[in-house]
Amino acid sequence: MKRNLTNLFILLIALLCNSGKLAAQSGITPKPLYEEQQKGTFTLNKKTAVYTNLEGEERTNMLSLLRKSPLKLSKKGKLNKKNTINLLLVDKSEEFPSLESYQLSVSSLNITITATSGAGLFYGVQSLLQLTNQNKEVEAQKLPAVLIKDTPRFAYRGLHLDASRHFLPKEFIKKQIDMMAYYKLNRFHWHLTDGAGWRIEIKKYPLLTEIAAWRPYDTWKEWWKNGKKYCTKENPKAQGGYYTQEDIKEVVAYAQARFITVIPEIEMPGHSEEVLAVYPELSCSGKPYVDSDFCIGNDSTFTFLENVLTEVMELFPSKYIHIGGDEATKKSWKTCPKCQARMLSENMKDVDQLQSYMIHRMEKFLNAHGRKLLGWDEILQGGLAPDATVMSWRGEQGGITAVKAGHQTIMTPGEFCYFDAYQDDPSTQPEAISGFLPLKKVYSYNPVPDSLSVDERKLILGVQANVWTEYMPTLKHTEYMIYPRLLALAEVAWTAPERKSYTDFYERALKAIPFLESRGYNAFPLKDEVGERPVSLVRENHLAVGKVITYKNKYYQNYSAGGDSALVDGLRGGWAYADHRWQGFIGKDLDVTIDLGSSMSIHSISADFMQIIGPGVWMPRNVEISVSEDGTTFTPLKQIDNDVPENKEKLIFRDFGWGGNVTARYVHYVAHQNNKGGFIFTDEIVVK
């Protein structure tokens, strides 16, 4: 009876544990499924030859890569001869549960990599390259004898790069594809269009690249703050760029040679300011610089989108075409006569269904051309298209909902997979949008939620890292945010959970930094990592812990931090407001009363707040602290006005507190909303 992949994992792990031979620690990332140390070493030298039974284009690509790699293998050898590297396609069997599975055997005589496909052989070669890079000598490289049997956990292992907010040159894209291949990632999600710039040549609509690809500002932030205007390339201040169709073909072919599929993203219906600035007739107002969403009531919108996607499909052979679908404001649809007429004719109840209509219609178009629709989890709103695949970014719930409805899903929740977040103490880092995502947290992610059944788990295709470049104005900054976190994501995507160990991975990641730097990549200096906010690492013991707290205004449900006890549980927040310890309030004051249970001597009352203006998190306008013996009559202790400037760009923490001597049973703490609106967050009201 045929074993399934899970059973194979268990079998190989058992073999590893019970084998009388010494388990190897090859230092390969992602960590292989099975490693066994053998006797002897193989000496790689100038006479080492290569033999393969690959044929056609795959053979040509493989031999070319080997010649250009650090192995510098150009000599052709014969099967199983001494000092030969054998790359062998073999018949399918239980030992190779995936087309990407491989086995690597290093002996004193030769090296043999076996797989059932070119992809499997390619990944075996990447493991060999990693072994080689770790074992360098002056004249020759001695590789320890080892047996590796390996297979990926997920079929989809992705990296997303946003080329819209800051244009990423073609050579930079190819450079990242090289490192993706080295760490066995196989999907490159190319975010080509967004409000900040259109980046792909569409011959039927030349204004997209003549104007919508350029802006008179160096950075996304400047563009955002100054009216989101565009210009022509001839403008002396013009910044931006786009990929010609020949550029696209070159990158796609480059990726294909490394067994990476390039998935294009063309945003719709929202994030489309750049399109509507140059083709305003596709907007609800019909005017440039007014709308950000396509007019769904206008048939010309669908003509435009279908024409664009037709050219896109000619360039990208990917099964999936990503259509975005996220963060549409839908504001203009509510009053647009064309949209309202569409809703009436289609018996729609709300604008969510209008978006769903668009998604369904685009899916039919893509399906008719042999493609599948992929979109962010907002495409669930109003009803999901029949064959669509969901990319779950707003947490895991969108993915769970899609899976339970029978749809395939790729997990990419912001909490674990958004590499635009700070990766260390924000005061030591270049500016980021918000959040805190250290290497350890990326590594900790399990893309398969426990709530799913065995059959539902099969619908989780894999996992993806997302790099959004609003706050990454340079190529060096972008790479700094990618590495080494991408290595952690690669191991999440490839390695069986039973084989993972952060302690082991961390040591490999430390060694990877100098390797990355030697190849010209600008990586975060992991050895200098500061880590999490110190106060979050130990429980705070104070008078209010575990006491009854009463809220006048309810906190925002998505940032509850655990509910009504969150501000008196002794747990302080970290660097990020989304770490489940910071409690958020939007459009309302934080207004709470704490009953200490009995009258007692109090010497200080305080709470921390944060400000990071990118996502709209502000300090309170002011804080009022008062106390009472009976819970009815309160004595004011102090009012603290905010002195943090509203234009301060980086993440800031500030304590709003009182100190002195008073006897009381009840503590009343009020933090008034900032004039800017947005959120206020606090993690604990500390009473001592």
Q: Which of 160, 189, 191, 271 is catalytic?
A: 271
Instruction: Tell me which amino acid residue 84 is.
Output: T
Could you tell me which residues come within 8 angstroms of residue 566 by beta carbon, excluding any fewer than 6 positions away? 555, 560, 581, 583
Cα separation, 586 vs 347, in Å, equals 34
Catalytic residue chosen out of the listed positions 327, 504, 529, 595: 327
Q: State how far the Cα of 237 lies from the Cα of 419, in Å rounded to an integer.
A: 29
Separation CA 616–CA 647 (nearest Å):
11
- Residue 664, C-beta contacts closer than 8 angstroms, at least 6 positions apart: 596, 599, 600, 602, 627, 628, 629, 635
Give the DSSP H/E element, type plus range, for residue 628: strand 622-628
CA nearest to 308, candidates 292, 324, 291 = 324
Is 271 a known active-site residue? yes
Looking at residue 535, the DSSP 8-state letter turns out to be: G
586, burial (CB in 10 Å: exposed 0-12, middle 13-18, buried 19+): middle
- Other beta carbons within 10 angstroms of residue 532's beta carbon come to 18
CB 568 within 8 A of CB 544: yes
CA 556 to CA 147: how far, in whole Å?
Answer: 54
Active site residue 194: yes
Token pair in block for residue 659 = 């100190």
3-state secondary structure of 681: strand
Q: Say whether 58 is catalytic.
A: no
Rounded to a whole number of angstroms, the CA Rg of the chain reads 28
Q: How many CA atoms lie within 13 A of 209 on its CB side?
A: 16
d(CA 573, CA 571): 7
Residue 124 one-letter amino acid = G
User: Which of the following is catalytic: 36, 194, 247, 293?
Assistant: 194
Rounded to an integer, what is the distance from CA 534 to the centroid of its chain? 26
Contacts for 347-355 with beta carbons within 8 Å, 24 or more apart? 350/382, 352/381, 352/382, 353/382, 353/383, 354/296, 354/330, 354/382, 355/269, 355/296, 355/325, 355/328, 355/330, 355/379, 355/381, 355/382
d(CA 331, CA 337) in angstroms, rounded, equals 13
Q: Are 463 and 489 in contact (CB under 8 A)?
A: yes
Q: Which residue, among 339, 371, 377, 334, has the nearest Cα to 358 in the 3D structure?
A: 339
| Residues catalogued as catalytic | 194, 271, 327
